[in-house]
């Protein structure tokens, strides 16, 4: 029997409690090395496959909202997810789950960097971590792209955004431009439907 989460019907949904939200983000947070965008595969695994709180098609929506707001993508995404499944209390649970391990790890790493930055072994380890993080970011981009770039219009917007970013165009301007392009496309398609 289908259960409902905030008006959406899903099958075999894991019960959504404040504790489950907190522990889900407590689990995701230590895995987001390289920035919030690298949490995408983990969000998809936890929220879509395991718990079924969201669908695969909602992941780009979460990222779009998280990137449109100022601040950390990871924190913004946790606020959005928590609110969508359990309101304001859900947002607070998600933020606490995301911040606790991240803050602890950051404090520990900061201490280690200042304590051992002159050791070649530590520098070599950091040099190896950087390309691994780039790989995580590319993988996350691929996962988002599978559901976001679905037609010629979205592919065109993707290439234009990439070219404009390479030309040092403002990310805020790109987000606003992408939103405007989406609205124009929607209006155009609606007009075509009416005329047909």
Of 116 and 194, more confident: 116
CB atoms within 10 A of CB 85: 25
**Alpha carbon 177 to chain centroid distance?**
20
List residues bridging with 3 in a β-sheet: 10
DSSP alpha helix (H) spans, 58-170: 59-68, 73-116, 120-148, 152-166
Is the pLDDT at 98 greater than 50? The verdict is yes
Q: What is the pLDDT of residues 17-71, one digit of tens each?
A: 999 999 999 998 887 766 667 777 888 888 888 888 988 888 888 888 887 778 8
- What average pLDDT does range 95-116 have in this prediction? 87
Q: What is the pLDDT of residues 150-170, one digit of tens each?
A: 778 778 888 888 888 888 877
% of the chain at pLDDT higher than 70: 84
Is the pLDDT at 195 greater than 50? The verdict is yes
Please give the torsion angle defined by the CA atoms of residues 29, 32, 38 and 43, in that order, rounded to the nearest 10 degrees.
-20
Contact 53, 47 (CB under 8 A): yes
In terms of C-beta density within 10 A (0-12 exposed, 13-18 middle, 19 or more buried), how is residue 97 classed? buried
* Encoded tokens for 10: 């899903």
Is the pLDDT at 11 greater than 60? The verdict is no
Contact 58, 19 (CB under 8 A): no
> Residue with structure tokens 């679905």?
150
């Amino acid at each position: 029997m289908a259960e409902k989460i905030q008006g959406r019907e899903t099958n075999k949904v894991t019960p959504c409690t404040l504790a489950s939200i907190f522990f889900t983000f407590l689990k995701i947070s230590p895995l987001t090395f390289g920035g919030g965008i690298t949490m995408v595969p983990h969000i998809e695994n936890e929220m879509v496959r395991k718990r079924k709180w969201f669908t695969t098609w909602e992941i780009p929506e979460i990222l779009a909202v998280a990137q449109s707001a100022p601040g950390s993508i990871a924190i913004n995404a946790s606020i959005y997810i928590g609110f969508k499944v359990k309101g304001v209390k859900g947002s607070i649970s998600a933020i606490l789950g995301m911040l606790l391990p991240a803050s602890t790890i950051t404090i520990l790493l900061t201490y280690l960097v200042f304590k051992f930055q002159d050791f070649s072994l530590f520098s070599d380890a950091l040099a190896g971590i950087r390309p691994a993080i780039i790989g995580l970011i590319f993988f996350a981009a691929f996962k988002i792209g599978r559901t976001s770039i679905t037609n010629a219009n979205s592919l065109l917007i993707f290439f234009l955004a990439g070219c404009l970013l390479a030309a040092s165009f403002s990310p805020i301007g790109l987000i606003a431009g992408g939103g405007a392009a989406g609205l124009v496309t929607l209006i155009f398609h609606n007009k075509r439907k009416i005329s047909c």
